């Protein structure tokens, strides 16, 4: 059997536009005509597939991008959404009913944490947050009410690497679903190939890569994706987080260069983290030997795409972290901004921003302090030059 290669899978996709264009035509319609009135009734009775009704349901442009994302993750099917949060919330709400429980990694994106901790209890869905790198903790937290184990492949912002193979084994033994957010590591990890049931993405980040739009994706079995679009009970159909087709068409084009971008992000991050580590700074990056899950990552990753574009510098306190970020922005290294996966370097201090939804006690226990600076390295052509600039910023702070 040919080895699974997500980049080749995307490469092999060939779509023709309406007039033979090399890019598919963009749907400019919110609704679709029917030649026979009876056909419309059949759609509402779930009797027809592959027919377009209304763009919140499905539209051709989103279908193209969804197919490409299914190829990226090697899943039977996929769907695209108007944000990463929509992909997460719709997936969870589709799987869970009132009274169910979720066992989630404690180090996840702050918005997801807040959804689990503050929003879902309104519907009597409760979450236990655990250190998912400790498999015994995961097993202990599962009860007869648990429906989902949830984690990020490389977690935001602690950059912990999840043992997807082991977590999927636990999920299968318990008859529950493993839902994985692969936002930080498209191409690098293929969680569905390692046993995950559902893979979600914030395409806002690396997949689109241009910092120009917000979008998400859900990958899974055909049965699961179809259930999300059921006109009577589907979370995507009824909550309505549809991605606009103009954006969708752009993301599909940007996806074509994802393999080149991921390699460059990873090469740059590896180069700069090694240098900064040698200089004595406190660096977290899964590509470094000293990272606690470095070996684990090597066993699971698609090696040619590297260890990803994110690393963390621990500056000790928030004042130093802020001064570093301002200095880096003033040196044109990148932007002091949330988000990640852009062509240009982005940095922020997650303790006071994207992870501030996580209670202070919890942040402390996982080492998420206010002195951490999360850096999403850009596609810089001359990374030695970037290192020199960053090094000057760091040296100024300690002088
Ligand atoms: N998942 C991760 C790991 C994220 O970092 C983010 C946003 O930062 C999201 C999901 C949410 O995605 P979006 O902002 O596209 O809704």
What is the per-residue pLDDT across 178-211, written as a single tens digit (0 to 9) for each? 999 999 999 999 999 999 999 999 999 999 999 9
Residue 1 lies in a domain: no
How far is the centre of ligand 1, averaged over its atoms, from the C-alpha of 392 (Å)?
31
- 200 - beta bridge partners? 181, 218
**pLDDT over 90 percentage in the chain:** 86
Out of 208, 232, 255, pick the residue that ends a domain: 255
DSSP 144: T
- Whether pLDDT at 278 is above 70: yes
pLDDT recorded at residue 48: 59
Q: Is 152 in the pocket of ligand 1 (CB under 6 A)?
A: yes
* Closest residue CA from atom 8 of ligand 1: 339
Atom of ligand 1 nearest to the CA of 86: 16
Q: Is the CB of 85 under 6 A from ligand 1?
A: yes
126, part of any domain: yes
Q: Does one domain contain both 364 and 223?
A: no
CATH number of the domain bearing residue 233: 3.40.640.10
Nearest CA to ligand 1 atom 12: 84
Pair 280, 225: CB distance under 8 Å: no
- pLDDT over 70, % of the chain: 98
Range from 225-234, 265-274, 362-371 carrying the lowest mean pLDDT: 362-371
Q: What is the mean pLDDT of the chain?
A: 95
- Which range is least confidently modeled, 46-55, 70-79, 275-284, 336-345? 46-55
Q: Please indicate whether residue 180, judged by its CB atom, sits closer than 6 Å to ligand 1.
A: no
Write down the pLDDT at residue 40.
83
Residue 337 CA to ligand 1 center (angstroms) comes to: 14
Spatial separation of the C-alpha atoms in residues 254 and 206, rounded to whole Å: 10
Which residue has the least CA distance to atom 15 on ligand 1? Answer: 84
Query: In which band, very low, low, confident or very high, does the pLDDT at 50 lie, cut at 50, 70 and 90?
Result: low
Mean pLDDT, residues 251-273 taken together = 98
> How far apart are the CA of 85 and the centre of ligand 1, in A?
6
What φ, ψ does residue 72 adopt, rounded to 5°? -60, -45
Residue 224 belongs to what domain range?
A: 6-255
- The angle at the Cα of 22, spanning 21 to 25, to the nearest 5 degrees, equals 55
Q: Are residues 177 and 264 in the same domain?
A: no
Q: How far is the CA of 29 from the centre of ligand 1 (A)?
A: 28
Cα-only R_g, the chain = 21
Strand order in the sheet with 146-152: 77-81, 216-220, 198-202, 177-181, 146-152, 101-105, 126-130
Domain match, 104 and 235 both: yes
Ligand 1 center to residue 3 CA distance, Å?
30
Which of the residue ranges 53-62, 95-104, 337-346 would you say has the lowest mean pLDDT? 53-62
339 CA from centroid of ligand 1 (Å): 8
Of 48-52, 252-256, 281-285, 349-353, the one with minimum mean pLDDT is: 48-52
Q: What is the pLDDT of residue 224?
A: 98
Considering the domain architecture, whether residues 227 and 374 belong to the same structural domain is answered as no
Residue 66 beta carbon below 6 angstroms from any ligand 1 atom? no
Exposure string (b/e) for 103-132, b if CB count within 10 Å is 16 or more?
Answer: bbbbbbbbbbbebbbeebeeeebbbbbbeb
197 occurs within a structural domain: yes
Mean pLDDT on 335-342: 96
pLDDT in the model for residue 171: 98
Are 247 and 270 part of one and the same domain?
Answer: no
Please check whether residue 114 lies inside any domain of the structure.
Answer: yes
Whether 11 is in a domain gets the answer yes
Q: Where does a domain end: 255, 284, 304?
A: 255
pLDDT score for 327: 97
C-alpha span between 82 and 213 (Å, rounded) = 9
Is the same domain home to 300 and 155? no
Residue 45 has pLDDT above 80, yes or no: no
pLDDT tens-digit series, residues 100-159:
999 999 999 999 999 999 999 999 999 999 999 999 999 999 999 999 999 999 998 999
Is the same domain home to 238 and 264?
A: no
Counting ligand 1 atoms within 8 A of each CB, the residue from 205, 308, 309, 355 with the most, and so the one to mutate, is 205
| Mean pLDDT computed over 63-76 | 97
Ligand 1 atom nearest residue 205's Cα:
15
Question: pLDDT at position 47, please?
Answer: 54
**DSSP classification of residue 24:** P
For 232, list phi and psi in degrees, rounded to 5. -95, -30
Q: Say yes or no: CB of residue 202 within 6 Å of ligand 1.
A: yes
State whether 197 and 145 are in the same domain. Answer: yes
Rounded Cα distance, 329 and 285, in Å: 21
300 and 382 housed in the same domain = yes
Q: Does the CB atom of residue 84 touch ligand 1 within 6 A?
A: yes
């Amino acid at each position: 059997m040919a080895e699974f290669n997500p980049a080749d899978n995307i490469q092999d996709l060939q779509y023709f536009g309406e007039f033979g264009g090399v890019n598919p035509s963009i749907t400019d319609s919110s609704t679709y005509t029917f030649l026979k009135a009876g056909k419309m009734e059949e759609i509402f009775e779930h009797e027809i597939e592959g027919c377009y009704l209304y763009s919140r349901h499905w539209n051709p442009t989103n279908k193209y991008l969804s197919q490409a994302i299914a190829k990226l993750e090697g899943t039977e099917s996929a769907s695209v959404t108007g944000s990463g949060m929509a992909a997460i919330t719709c997936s969870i709400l589709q799987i869970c009913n009132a009274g169910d429980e979720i066992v989630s990694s404690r180090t996840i994106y702050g918005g997801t944490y807040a959804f689990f901790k503050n929003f879902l209890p309104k519907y009597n869905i409760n979450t236990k947050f655990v250190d998912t790198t400790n498999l015994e903790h995961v097993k202990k937290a599962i009860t007869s009410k648990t429906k989902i184990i949830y984690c990020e492949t490389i977690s935001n912002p602690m950059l912990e690497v999840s043992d997807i193979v082991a977590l999927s084994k636990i999920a299968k033994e318990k008859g529950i679903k493993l839902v994985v957010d692969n936002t930080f590591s498209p191409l690098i990890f293929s969680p569905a190939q390692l046993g995950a049931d559902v893979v979600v993405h914030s395409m806002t980040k690396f997949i689109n890569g241009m910092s120009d739009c917000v979008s998400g994706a859900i990958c899974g079995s055909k049965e699961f994706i179809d259930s999300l679009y059921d006109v009577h009970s589907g979370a995507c159909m009824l909550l309505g987080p549809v991605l606009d087709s103009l954006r969708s068409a752009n993301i599909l084009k940007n996806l074509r260069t994802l393999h080149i971008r991921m390699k460059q992000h990873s090469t740059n991050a590896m180069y700069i983290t090694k240098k900064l580590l040698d200089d004595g700074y406190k660096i977290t990056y899964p590509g470094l030997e000293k990272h606690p899950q470095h070996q684990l990552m090597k066993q699971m990753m698609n090696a040619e795409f590297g260890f990803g574009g994110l690393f963390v510098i621990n500056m000790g306190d928030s004042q130093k972290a802020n001064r570093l970020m301002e200095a880096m922005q003033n040196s044109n290294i990148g932007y002091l901004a949330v988000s990640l996966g852009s062509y240009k370097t982005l940095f922020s201090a997650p303790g006071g921003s994207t992870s501030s939804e996580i209670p202070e006690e919890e942040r402390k226990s996982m080492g998420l302090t206010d002195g951490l600076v999360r850096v999403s390295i850009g596609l810089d052509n001359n990374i030695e030059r970037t290192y020199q600039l960053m090094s000057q910023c760091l040296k100024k702070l300690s002088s």
